[in-house]
Amino acid sequence: MSAVIQSSPIASPSPLAVGAHDRIIAFDGDRQVSLGQFLAQVRGVAAVLPAGRHAINLCEDRYRFLVAFCAVAVRAQTTLLPPSRAPAVIADELRRHADSYCVGDALLTDPPPHYWRLPEVLPEQAGGPLSIDDDALVAIGFTSGSTGEPRPNPKTWRSFRTSTAQNLEALGDLWPKGTRPQLVATVPSQHMYGMEMSVLLPLLGEVAVHAARPFFPQDIAGALRAAHAPRLLVTTPVHLRALLESSVELPTMAGIVSATAPLPATLAAAAEARFGCEVREVFGSTETCVIARRRTAREEAWTPLPGVHLHPQPDGSLVHAPHLSTPVALADLVEVTPLGCFLLRGRQADLLEIAGKRASLGDLTRQLQAVPGVRDGVVFQLDPCQTTGVRRIAALAVAPDIDEASILQVLRRGIDPVFLPRRLRRVDALPRNETGKLPREALLRLLQGDVQ
């Protein structure tokens, strides 16, 4: 097996990981794993992985995800990153991709087809440095499905290396030069944002990552306390709001990074004041990876990462970037400023035109979320009526202390009557996925008992 790892013909190899063998790549409350031990375990796991072309990585432990991802790449296999780990979604991707299997770290009572569990004690194998062909297809990410059917997006090792260098450029001034930050992430490794920030940064950026994925405020605080300074928290607006609403005390941090959903400027400013560090929002997608950054508490415009250029199109924007082999079209409408930054102006699919008047679903959602007593909410359009073709506006709100009539009364003050939701339903929680996104089908299912 060592011959497969180290001596197969590679036209343009690049290192699997950078740094000295004694640098820390992962940690938790009980252990610190050096790069040398990590590489030995990657070799050991690669030697015993099943044969195949594609692997779905279901590991919950972030370090084991990291080992499995690298072992799969070393075996010249491709990691699939479905938009959900729901059994039906996993089974569907296994059917779509030939010679595929699942790798995980849990003993499941009802495992998916072709499930292979990592050994409890990870095997180790000695050897030299590990490299990956730059043109190797190491991952296929899938869009979230929030705007329709998830779409595949292939990622080569070269594209990941280039985008990671850009991410280091975008974040590197958050910690002192010459130091090695230790990172805690609340997002799953299977999501592209989680992949970029909690898998690729530790591999290619000499960053150490916490092995867990803390969810509750106390768990996030505990993971940060296990980290050494400078500490970096990679999270989402949903988790950031939960931290602010809790009484939890966090240790000193070098910075907080947020993505996956729009971050309100008021939330960013409150987090900076409470936790004493900059909150830096990054903008990207599964198709493009991270392409821009901003300090949301103080800036509305986004600063593109080095070499990134956005060109407005009638139905969105065209992204040119060093890590993209061809320009990528996004549905986001942008306005480019004279200094080369850009402002987001919503999406073509989010723009509404009724009775000669215009509005956007994004702005309507922000107004709903700003209603006193509304903890979370979303405004969206229903499918066209089969008889009239009209697409009515609906809303879901998490508001345990006020009723629908009170919410609508506040909305009438700032929203034109033609854009008021015809259906407004209070719910216990919105059907957000692991990264805080709201898949359209989940919204419709939650509302369906109220739709005529």
Pair 293, 367 in one domain: no
- For residue 348 the two structure tokens come to 């073509």
Q: Looking at 299, 329, 346, which one is the last position of a domain?
A: 299
Residue 449 pLDDT class (50, 70, 90 cuts): low
In this predicted structure, the answer to whether residue 7 has a pLDDT above a threshold of 60 is no
Asked if omega into 264 is within 30° of 0 (cis), the reply is no
Question: What pLDDT sits at residue 148?
Answer: 52
Q: Assess if residue 155 is contained within a domain.
A: yes
pLDDT digits (tens, 9 = 90+) for 135-165: 999 999 987 655 556 688 999 999 999 999 9
Q: Assess if residue 71 is contained within a domain.
A: yes
Q: What is the mean pLDDT of residues 261-275?
A: 94
Pair 359, 294 in one domain: no
What is d(CA 277, CA 274) in angstroms, rounded to the nearest whole number?
8
In this predicted structure, the answer to whether residue 8 has a pLDDT above a threshold of 80 is no
Pair 255, 368 in one domain: no
Sequence letter at residue 178: G
Question: What pLDDT sits at residue 24?
Answer: 97
Sequence letter at residue 34: S
365 Cβ contact list (under 8 Å, min separation 6)? 377, 378, 379
Q: For residue 432, which of 266, 260, 292 has the smallest C-alpha distance?
A: 260
Pair 235, 374 in one domain: no
What is d(CA 65, CA 203) in angstroms, rounded to the nearest whole number?
12
Q: What is the mean pLDDT of residues 419-445?
A: 87
Pair 245, 99 in one domain: yes
CATH number at residue 390: 3.30.300.30
Q: Assess if residue 337 is contained within a domain.
A: no
What is d(CA 85, CA 94) in angstroms, rounded to the nearest whole number?
12
Q: How many CB atoms lie within 10 A of CB 44?
A: 20
Pair 241, 379 in one domain: no
Beta-bridged to residue 397, according to DSSP, are: 377, 426
Q: Looking at 259, 277, 299, which one is the last position of a domain?
A: 299
Strand 32-34 with 24-27, pairing:
antiparallel
In this predicted structure, the answer to whether residue 436 has a pLDDT above a threshold of 80 is no
Contact between 206 and 23 (Cβ < 8 Å): yes
CATH number at residue 213: 3.40.50.12780
Q: For residue 236, which of 209, 213, 218, 204 has the smallest C-alpha distance?
A: 213
In this predicted structure, the answer to whether residue 2 has a pLDDT above a threshold of 50 is no
Helix 237-245 and helix 265-275: axis angle, to 10°? 50
Q: For residue 42, which of 72, 76, 9 has the smallest C-alpha distance?
A: 72
What is d(CA 352, CA 256) in angstroms, rounded to the nearest whole number?
34
Q: What is the mean pLDDT of residues 234-258?
A: 95
Pair 290, 421 in one domain: no
What is d(CA 424, CA 260) in angstroms, rounded to the nearest whole number?
25
Exposure string over 287-296, b if 16+ CB within 10 A, otherwise e: bbbbbbbbbb
Q: 297: exposed, middle or buried (C-beta count within 10 Å: 0-12, 13-18, 19+)?
A: buried
Return the SS3 of 153: strand
| Residue 145 or residue 398, greater confidence | 398
Pair 269, 365 in one domain: no
What is d(CA 119, CA 122) in angstroms, rounded to the nearest whole number?
6
Strand 393-398 with 423-426, pairing:
parallel
The DSSP H or E segment spanning 25 is strand 24-27
Give 90-118 as a DSSP string: HHHHHHHSTTEEEEESS--SSPPTTEEEP
Residue 5 pLDDT class (50, 70, 90 cuts): very low
Pair 32, 139 in one domain: yes
Question: What pLDDT sits at residue 86?
Answer: 81
Sequence letter at residue 357: K
Torsion angle (degrees, nearest 10) of CA 247, 251, 252, 257: -70
Q: What range defines the domain where residue 443 resides?
A: 355-450
In this predicted structure, the answer to whether residue 357 has a pLDDT above a threshold of 60 is yes
Strands of 221-315, DSSP E: 231-235, 255-258, 279-285, 289-294, 303-304, 309-313
- For residue 253 the two structure tokens come to 């941090």
pLDDT digits (tens, 9 = 90+) for 300-344: 999 999 999 999 998 899 999 999 999 999 988 899 999 999 999
Q: Assess if residue 329 is contained within a domain.
A: no
| Residue 217 or residue 360, greater confidence | 217
Q: Looking at 299, 329, 345, which one is the last position of a domain?
A: 299
Q: Assess if residue 65 is contained within a domain.
A: yes
Pair 31, 144 in one domain: yes
Q: For residue 170, which of 215, 213, 232, 223 has the smallest C-alpha distance?
A: 232
Q: Assess if residue 389 is contained within a domain.
A: yes
Q: What is the mean pLDDT of residues 261-265?
A: 89
Residues counted in the chain: 452
Instruction: Report long-range pairs for 114-122 (Cβ below 8 Å, ≥24 apart).
Output: 114/50, 115/58, 116/49, 116/50, 118/45, 118/59, 118/64, 118/67, 118/68, 119/45, 119/48, 122/41, 122/44, 122/45, 122/64, 122/67
Structural domains in the chain (count) = 2
Question: What pLDDT sits at residue 145?
Answer: 54
Pair 374, 295 in one domain: no
Q: Assess if residue 247 is contained within a domain.
A: yes
Pair 185, 283 in one domain: yes
Q: Assess if residue 311 is contained within a domain.
A: no
What is d(CA 137, CA 18) in angstroms, rounded to the nearest whole number?
20
Return the SS3 of 128: coil
Return the SS3 of 381: strand
